[in-house]
Amino acid sequence: MSEAKQLIPSWTFDDFLTERPYEWLYQQKDNKFMLQILLQKMQAIAKELKVTGFMKTWAAYVESKSPKATILGNNQTMFPNQPTQLDCGSYYADEFGVHRTNEMGAEVEVISHPLMPVKRVTNIETFEEKLEIAYQRGRDAWKTLTVSRELLASAQKIISLSRQGVAVNSENAKEVVRYMGVLESLNYDALPRQDSVSHMGWLQDGQFMPYVKDVSYDGDSPEFMHMYEEFKPTGDEQTWLNLAKEVRKSESIPARIALAASFASPLVQILGGLPFFVHFWGETGCGKTVGLMLAASVWGNPDVGRYVKTFSGTKVSQELYAGFCCNLPILFDELQVISDRKSFDDIVYMLCEGVSKGRGAKEGGLQIQRRWSSCIITTGEMPITQGNSGGGAVARIVEVNFGGMPLFRDARGTANTLKENYGFAGPKFIHLLQKDGIIDALKALQKKFYTELMHEDVQDKQVLSASILLAADALATKAIFKDKHALTVDEIKGYLVSRTETDVNLRCYQWLVGFCAANPRKFDTSDSALGECWGQYKEDHGVSYVCINKSIFEDLLKNKGFSAGAFIDWARRKGMLRDTFYGVGNKNNRPTKSIVVNGKQVPHYWIKLPDEDDRTEQERYKEYVEVEPEDMPF
């Protein structure tokens, strides 16, 4: 305060109860710059002397001198240590909060603490504009929040700011809305503008969030705002690198696949791929979660609950999380928390669609749909697919089963090291991708792996996913790890499914034949047979069939999760169903043929049984599925 006392007379507490300090200050009105400086110093002296209401008294003095006078210090915010200074019209804004004088001359408190807008935030993809507001309570430091204009314009919605400590309630909400509107209108051009997005990953100009300095994150959810802060390099880079290189050198192939899947995620979009799963499963205590943490540590905080999530959330929360990650890996732990296995396929299809479900907005129209194109890395104690899973679901998953073999020699030590050292490899990898020529080289490398894998009996979608994994791992090996432990085609192909394994109708046929064989009494048509009869075994023109009652057949497949209609259509095309399409059966070309049961004609499906001379289904596929190397997604 020594500098202030050199410029300003040594006023006392009693002096501030007279006109003298205000009259002395008013004499500086012709020099607005000096007036502003002296006003701030006088405010500080008044606070030191515990004089309350200095700014309101000063405003009243100015008005008494000239009701129409316009003095800069009369209509500007004077909050202590304020981040910026704004015109505030007829409001008084100081350390005691914000006040105004109403039409009757009475003082009205707007809010009891400093509050002001400080920045306009514009989403560069949706063009939605928000405001960053700053506020201070008591002796706490200034805090900032990015909120929608809709919230600041509604007395009902602005009350939600109370959860962040803003002293707004049902009594003063309208006053706060009016005050914030006035400040924004008076200072619209003066408020700095900040570009923003609401997701991680690639932007239209080739930059990658969260590694863009001049673009911020403006998501509505506080959880994602906190998660955004987790994508910062933490700890020691060399410690993380040494651990990752040791894992690649001495640990199992699944651990290397986990790292490769993490690096592959930002390549899915630029290499023309589709979102796909890499699912790790095995016995408990084998280090599955630590493997997921290893993948997460490439980009951010690997602790479960921070960047890594669990399957316990709702589908909506999973959509929001996927939309937030966008091109970063989507990480889910502990598949077994989902009790309903039927929902497994729903989750796979939902996340592999790469777009959130269309929903109506409260104000009318549709909500903005979130999109993502990434690798979804998951863990569990069981496979994510099952016998009746759709072929599309099976094809979109690379399942890594390691049984009871541990992924790491020291899982606990690895986890502790990862929690303290993370976030270094991700920005390096992205910086490398942004260099000229790298993307073209990656496409050529991925095409090479694609061609090599197409010579194997592997489903097309899995070939594309695996080739992206191999290309990402090859680039990370050369640029980051600089070792000789890149994944090979032979190492990855053991985890891919064949074209026949993805055929849900073939799996249905195999289950059906086995299930009928396991229940011989249900096909016993002798007089001594007890219980219900599902059908009978028959032979026609040297071909063996299992004939199943139409109602029983459809119930069996429905209960098992298969589609009876899809299976019958498949069986017809494969020549495994006796009907007129193949030259036998009734004249109406129905898929059933009746059998006399208890004196009545009952429709049955006649399903051809396999015999020793039948070719394998794999051989059938090879006859009509020939994918040429040039049939690439480029």
Range with the poorest average pLDDT among 316-320, 477-481, 548-552, 622-626: 622-626
CB 77 within 8 A of CB 88: yes
Flag whether pLDDT at 218 surpasses 70.
Answer: yes
Residues 451 and 542 in one domain: no
Residues 271 and 380 in one domain: yes
Residues 299 and 397 in one domain: yes
Task: For residue 372, give both structure tokens.
Answer: 């993502």
Residues 555 and 468 in one domain: no
- pLDDT tens, position by position, 381-403: 887 766 545 556 677 888 888 77
Any domain includes 397:
yes
pLDDT value, residue 106? 72
Any domain includes 377:
yes
- Domain final position from 75, 105, 122: 75
The DSSP bridge partners found for residue 603 are 594
Flag whether pLDDT at 295 surpasses 90.
Answer: yes
Any domain includes 134:
no
- pLDDT tens, position by position, 406-416: 888 888 999 99
Flag whether pLDDT at 626 surpasses 60.
Answer: no
Residues 455 and 334 in one domain: yes
The widest CA-to-CA distance across the chain, in whole angstroms, is 120
Report the percent of the chain where pLDDT is more than 70.
85
Range with the poorest average pLDDT among 222-226, 249-253, 568-572: 249-253
Flag whether pLDDT at 484 surpasses 70.
Answer: yes
Domain with 50 in it: 2-75
- 279 conformational bin, left if phi > 0, alpha if psi -120 to 50, beta if neither: beta
- Domain final position from 14, 48, 75: 75
- Give the residue-averaged pLDDT of 556-567: 85
Q: How far apart (Å, rounded) are the C-alpha atoms in residues 547 and 434?
A: 62
Give the three-class secondary structure for 501.
coil
Q: How far apart (Å, rounded) are the C-alpha atoms in residues 117 and 524?
A: 82
CB 212 within 8 A of CB 206: no
The DSSP bridge partners found for residue 133 are 117, 145
pLDDT value, residue 1? 39
Q: Which of 513, 584, 533 is nearest to 593 (CA)?
A: 584
Residues 466 and 534 in one domain: no
Any domain includes 130:
no
Helix (H), strand (E) at residue 226: helix 222-228
In DSSP notation, 129-180 reads: EEEEEEE--TTSPPEEEEEEHHHHT-TTTGGGGGGGT----TTTHHHHHHHH
Residues 554 and 607 in one domain: yes
Task: Give the strand pairing for 330-333 and 309-310.
Answer: parallel
Residues 251 and 387 in one domain: yes
Higher pLDDT, 3 or 206: 206
Residues 458 and 336 in one domain: yes
- Give the residue-averaged pLDDT of 158-164: 94
Confidence of residue 340 (pLDDT cuts 50, 70, 90): low
CA distances from 214 to 121, 195, 518, 548 (A): 11, 7, 66, 68
Any domain includes 201:
no
CA distances from 311 to 181, 199, 301 (A): 42, 21, 18
Q: How far apart (Å, rounded) are the C-alpha atoms in residues 394 and 391?
A: 5
pLDDT value, residue 42? 85
Residues 458 and 324 in one domain: yes
Any domain includes 540:
yes
Range with the poorest average pLDDT among 53-62, 470-479, 565-574: 53-62
Q: Whole-number mean pLDDT of the chain?
A: 84
pLDDT value, residue 329? 96
Any domain includes 331:
yes
pLDDT value, residue 263? 97
pLDDT value, residue 338? 67
- Give the residue-averaged pLDDT of 87-114: 86
Flag whether pLDDT at 562 surpasses 60.
Answer: yes
CATH number at residue 458: 3.40.50
Flag whether pLDDT at 68 surpasses 50.
Answer: no
Residues 508 and 461 in one domain: no
CB 101 within 8 A of CB 84: no
Flag whether pLDDT at 175 surpasses 90.
Answer: yes
Residues 436 and 549 in one domain: no
Confidence of residue 363 (pLDDT cuts 50, 70, 90): low
* Range ranked top by mean pLDDT from 236-240, 247-251, 345-349, 607-611: 236-240
Higher pLDDT, 271 or 634: 271
pLDDT value, residue 623? 42
Confidence of residue 11 (pLDDT cuts 50, 70, 90): confident
pLDDT value, residue 499? 67
Helix, strand, coil distribution of the chain in percent, nearest 5: 40, 20, 40
CB atoms within 10 A of CB 435: 10
- Domain final position from 49, 75, 101: 75
- pLDDT tens, position by position, 440-456: 999 999 999 999 988 76
Domain total for the chain? Answer: 3
Flag whether pLDDT at 480 surpasses 80.
Answer: yes
Any domain includes 524:
yes
pLDDT value, residue 284? 79
Which contacts of 9-17 are long-range, i.e. CB under 8 A and separated by 24 or more positions?
11/45, 11/49, 12/49, 13/49, 13/50, 13/51, 16/46, 16/49, 16/51, 16/54, 16/57
